[in-house]
Amino acid sequence: DAGVIQSPRHEVTEMGQEVTLRCKPISGHNSLFWYRQTMMRGLELLIYFNNNVPIDDSGMPEDRFSAKMPNASFSTLKIQPSEPRDSAVYFCASSPGRQGPSYEQYFGPGTRLTVT
Amino acid sequence: EDQVTQSPEALRLQEGESSSLNCSYTVSGLRGLFWYRQDPGKGPEFLFTLYSAGEEKEKERLKATLTKKESFLHITAPKPEDSATYLCAVSSGGSYIPTFGRGTSLIVHP
> Rounded to whole angstroms, how far apart are CA atoms B20 and A59?
32
Q: Are strands B84-92 and B104-109 parallel, antiparallel or unpaired?
A: antiparallel
CA distance A92 to B17: 35
pLDDT for the residue A100 = 47
Average pLDDT over residues B62-76: 97
What pLDDT score does A101 carry?
A: 44
Whether pLDDT at A102 is above 70:
no
* Residue of A50, A104, A106, A112 to mutate when probing chain B, most B C-beta within 10 A: A104
- Is A25 part of the contact surface with chain B (CB cutoff 8 Å)? no
Contact A48 B100 (CB under 8 A): no
Contact list, B34 vs chain A (CB under 8 Å): 103-105
Q: Is the pLDDT of residue A46 over 60?
A: yes
Q: How far is A64 from chain B (nearest CA, A)?
A: 23
Task: State mean pLDDT over B31-47.
Answer: 94
Task: Calculate ∠ Cα B13-B15-B21, nearest 5°.
Answer: 40
A27-36 CB burial, b ≥16 within 10 A, e <16:
eebbbbbbbb
Average pLDDT score over residue span B16-29: 95
The verdict on a CB contact (< 8 Å) between A110 and B98 is no
For residue range A6-43, list pLDDT tens digits in order. 999 999 999 999 999 999 999 989 899 999 999 988 99
Q: Please report the residues numbered 60 through 89 in chain A whose beta carbons come closer than 8 angstroms to any beta carbon of chain B.
A: none
| Residues A63-91 as b or e (16 or more Cβ within 10 Å = b) | eebebebeebeebebebeebeeebbbbbb
Torsion of CA B79, A110, A103, B24, to 10 degrees: 60
- Residues 6 or more apart whose Cβ sits within 8 Å of residue A90: A6, A21, A34, A35, A36, A37, A46, A77, A110, A111, A113
Q: Does A97 touch chain B (CB under 8 A)?
A: yes
Cα B101 to the center of its chain, rounded Å: 9
Lowest mean pLDDT among A54-58, A90-94, A95-99, B30-34: A95-99
pLDDT, averaged across chain A: 92
- A1 confidence band (pLDDT: 50, 70, 90): low
pLDDT at B95 over 80: no
Chain A residues with CB-CB distance to B42 below 8 A: 109-110
B94: left (phi over 0), alpha (psi -120 to 50) or beta: alpha
Outline where DSSP puts E strands in chain B: 3-7, 10-14, 19-26, 30-38, 45-50, 56-59, 62-66, 70-75, 84-92, 99-100, 104-109
Which residues of chain A have a CB within 8 Å of the CB of B23? none
* Contact residues for B38 (Cβ-Cβ < 8 A; gap 6+): B44, B45, B84, B85, B86, B87, B103
Please give the pLDDT value at position A98. 61
